[in-house]
Amino acid sequence: MKERAFSEIWKLSPNVGDANCYQELVKYTRQIIEIYKDQGRLDVDPLESARKRVLRLPKEQLEKELKGAICLVSGGLGCIGSSLIKELLEFDVQEIVVIDKVEFQGVPWDDRIRYYQCDVLDRVFVAEIFSKHQPHIVFHTAAQRNPGLAEKQISESVTTNVFGTLRMVRAAENTASVRKFVFCSTGKASRYFTEEVYAATKKMCEYILDVQSRNSKIVYSMARFTHVVDNSLMDLELRDSVMQGKHVRIHSPGKFVTAQNAREASYLLLNSLLYGSKGRCNFLIVKNLEWPVESLELALYHISMSDKEIPIVFSGNPIGYTEKFFRGQMDWSKPAELNLLINVYENRIRRLNEAEDIIVSNIVKCSKSVLNWALDNLRSATTKEEVKANLMAGLKGIVTETLSEADKRDTVNILNWGLDKKILAAEKATASDYGAIIPMLFQSLENTSYYPQVEHLLEMSHYQKH
């Protein structure tokens, strides 16, 4: 019954403006709500547990780290940046220097805060701020974070995320006082390879920090975030749609997101100060993310709570949200420890914090020469089409190198888990749905003793050895 309702909604969605179609959509939406309720769902907000979850914060250790420290926070007026600042003020910091390209309204709520309206791309102004305040700790949270917008504003997103991060790193390196640098990344960077602009920029930044960390006096670290409920574009759009009372548009059924809250994100950043390692850029993620939330269930919950007769409409997946989840992303040798924010290679070297609620790991290394080639190639682009093409080419070059260095036994497992015939059939998927990563994984095993172990997968993958 549910599948039939989904099918009918897909057919009717383009004509939601027609009165008869609208009523049919309301009918099928009501049917799906009843099905979900019969399954014991929609009684509570699906994001409620993520809103309340709390990580441990080792305050005594952090107080030693932060006492008398001058902290600089880029993007400090954003959701995560402002949450971080509130937490920093709980410690005996000397000063918090906030830079954001958005104009600050009002008066800082604490006399330890210094605010500058400054874009991280403004090399001269950024350098002046670093020189004037001599920060000890830098938290880089500024970014263009909207995946859909990143596909439309490709050049701007690449410039802000990649070269803005590079500019902050260089400013820190040129300032003798800086001892630690913490970066905000995304769980999307755990993908082996991605053709989505936002995820690709963040993945490129992770390589920048890891390469920089190897020969630096500064300890670099980062936190990978997932869907932050306090700043959720999806949840906000769903709530607004319900309030307007017309219809609620979602991409498609079967789309899931993991979630966390802003305070949890700021705690990850603070813990990053304690779990950084000189010579490697460690990343931190929440260990117990719980089961992912379906966007459809969230939409149905808001409709159900409103008591309005509002239909669901399927719009299809827009650019920036089209990549299909690759099952080989996760380490199925330990099903009880599955986590969407860490891939198989990274999972092999994972360790836990003292409270065992945070996972700490590293990315697979790339060389400085390959990274510099990718960045130079990206700088040479003049049109948005060239920017995206060069971003993907550069990332592909980096990932090809990292796969050659990765444990081949892991690569064999990744291909076997990701291209399992039964799973592909159940999901109505093919290897081509996962893009360029499949041939890249095969190529990394060519001319090795491990290649025969994956040859049986070649036919279904449509990959031909060259």
Phi, psi of 285 (to 5 degrees): -140, 160
Q: How far apart are alpha carbons 221 and 278 in whole angstroms?
A: 9
| Domain assignment of residue 434, yes or no | no
187 — pLDDT class (breaks 50, 70, 90): very high
- Domain limits at 239? 41-370
Interval 451-463: pLDDT, tens: 999 998 877 666 5
Interval 377-408: pLDDT, tens: 999 999 999 999 999 999 999 999 999 999 99
| Domain assignment of residue 307, yes or no | yes
User: What is the model's pLDDT at position 135?
Assistant: 98
Q: What is the DSSP string of 186-237?
A: EGGGGSSS--SHHHHHHHHHHHHHHHHHTT-SSEEEEEEE-EEGGG-HHHHH
Q: Which two tokens stand for residue 265?
A: 């994100």
Can you give the pTM of this predicted structure? Answer: 0.93
User: What is the model's pLDDT at position 465?
Assistant: 57
| Domain assignment of residue 401, yes or no | no
- Which residues on neighbouring strands pair with residue 449, listed in sequence order? none
| Domain assignment of residue 276, yes or no | yes
107 — pLDDT class (breaks 50, 70, 90): low
The bridge status of strand 351-352 relative to strand 358-361 is antiparallel
In the block, which residue shows the tokens 């006082």? 177
341 — pLDDT class (breaks 50, 70, 90): very high
| Domain assignment of residue 465, yes or no | no
| Domain assignment of residue 324, yes or no | yes
| Domain assignment of residue 29, yes or no | no
User: What is the model's pLDDT at position 408?
Assistant: 97
Nearest CA among 64, 90, 78 for reference residue 120 = 78
Q: Return the CATH number at 124.
A: 3.40.50.720
The total domain count for the chain is 1
User: What is the model's pLDDT at position 1?
Assistant: 75
217 — pLDDT class (breaks 50, 70, 90): very high
Q: How far apart are alpha carbons 317 and 365 in whole angstroms?
A: 32
| Domain assignment of residue 386, yes or no | no
Report the amino acid identity of residue 69: A
For 188-203, what is the mean pLDDT? Answer: 96
128 — pLDDT class (breaks 50, 70, 90): very high
User: What is the model's pLDDT at position 2?
Assistant: 82
237 — pLDDT class (breaks 50, 70, 90): confident
Percentage of the chain surpassing pLDDT 70? 98
